[in-house]
Amino acid sequence: MIKTFKNSKINDVNAYLIINKQLNKAILIDGAYRWESIFKYLKQYEIILTDIFITHFHHDHTIGLDKLALLTGSAIHIHKFDYPYLLDKTVNESQNGQVVEFDNPEIKFEIFKNDVKLNINGFQINTIHKGGHTPGTAFYELDNKYLFVGDTLFIDKVGFHKAMFHNLQSSALKSLIDQTCDDDRFYASIDSILKDYSKHLVYPGHWKQGFKANDVLNNKNHVYNKKINRHFS
């Protein structure tokens, strides 16, 4: 069972709670600023959260996961290249007044560099490092059926990357994207979703979840098909 927690105040950002009802255990992918609602749900249904997976370091996906990890004892999985940004007080929302505690030594981290295959709570989870949107952007494949892709591809658009900001005025967001996004890897990761995982249900970081590659490829208005900003090979 995949339960989605959305936050309409932040571009319908998604958090995904993946529950094994027989074991009453769960894993979580991203946070969506909904950690309190997620914790309440876990308590209400007496579900044990064992692991948290982060697709990328951006704050709309990570805020509150430190608190959730401390409350539940869950391990946090994140790629090696994005881990330092969780601790960086210039980008982790500490700079905007959020209390961020990813540096708490009581939090258990599973920091991966190479792709790994895991069996957790009866689920087969493959970590797939893609980079692009951020240096450590990771996809998570669940049971060879579902693909969680963070902010790389959406049903009607693609995620932030450098080319989108070329003609825009300087801003904190533009600076962050310029410093941490690799457009070539980003474009390649979109191609990979559409070609290598064409039969999977895609669960993105924002908006509608559970679409397939053909939903993108058959949409003539999708930026991927319009080749906007640069050629998607």
Helix (H) or strand (E) holding 17: strand 13-20
| Cα–Cα distance for residue pair 113/60, rounded to 1 Å | 23
More confident residue, 230 or 65: 65
Tokens 């579902």: give the residue: 146
Q: Are strands 48-53 and 201-204 parallel, antiparallel or unpaired?
A: unpaired
Q: What is the pTM of this model?
A: 0.94
| Cα–Cα distance for residue pair 69/28, rounded to 1 Å | 10
Q: Give me the residue spans of the domains in the chain.
A: 2-226
CB-based contacts of 17-25 (< 8 A; 24+ apart in sequence):
17/41, 17/49, 18/123, 18/142, 19/47, 20/121, 20/122, 20/123, 22/122, 23/121, 23/122, 24/48, 25/49, 25/50, 25/121
For 25-65, how does the pLDDT look when each residue is reduced to its tens digit (9 = 90+)? 999 999 999 999 999 999 999 999 999 999 999 999 999 99
As its CATH architecture, domain 2-226 has: 4-Layer Sandwich (3.60)
Give the up-direction half-sphere exposure of residue 118: CA atoms within 13 A in the CB hemisphere: 20
Q: How confident is residue 230, by pLDDT bands cut at 50, 70 and 90? A: low
Alpha helices in 81-171 (DSSP H): 83-87
Residue 159 above 50 pLDDT? yes
Residue 165 above 90 pLDDT? no
Q: Specify whether the CB–CB gap between 79 and 61 falls below 8 A.
A: no
